[in-house]
Structure 1
């Protein structure tokens, strides 16, 4: 299973880019259609308005993407995401210019 540090934001129940967000390790299925993070199973689903994954148990919608070095992860908000403790070291190295683990070429 692929494992990546990702930016994720809860979209359900919040105005545009106002939901809580995190930098966290996310595991992906071999097809990249299912993501596992924070004890949740998220499924990719095309056609959602402001999200690209939904929680299979709760139906809550999430936006997942790779983090950006300039920290502009939220499209309309500059609120800083919470960084999971186990992702902090690799994420801070990424912000200093190192590649993310598993993405040595970009």
Structure 2
């Protein structure tokens, strides 16, 4: 499985960009169609506001690479929660290091 540092936001049940969000490690399968995050199995699909759904609960999520300017939330206030095990990699990324697993682009 490929592991990436990602921005993850819960979309189901919240107005645009008002759901809880995290910066954390996401494990993807070989085809990149299935992701594991916080014990959830997420499958890829496409809607205007979500690109993954939880196969157990049908909740929808937005997953993307984190942004150096910390503007991951388009409209919502606040900031994502950074998972403890991702803090070092995220702080290095904010200081111009490449994203882990994407050093070559």
Give the TM-score normalised by structure 1.
Answer: 0.95
Residues paired across the two proteins, number: 105
> What stretches of structure 1 move > 4 A for 4+ residues in a row?
none
Aligned to 2:28: 28
Deviation at 1:50, TM superposition (A): 1.1
Structure 1: gaps of 5 or more residues: none
Deviations 1:59-103 (A, max 9, x none): 000000000000011122242100000000000000011111111
Which segments of 5 or more consecutive residues in structure 2 lack a partner in the other structure? none
Moved more, 94-103 or 18-27: 94-103
Q: Distance in 2 between matches of 1:75 and 1:56?
A: 26
SS of residue matched to 1:87: helix
What corresponds to 2:71 in structure 1? 72
TM-score by length of structure 2 reads 0.96
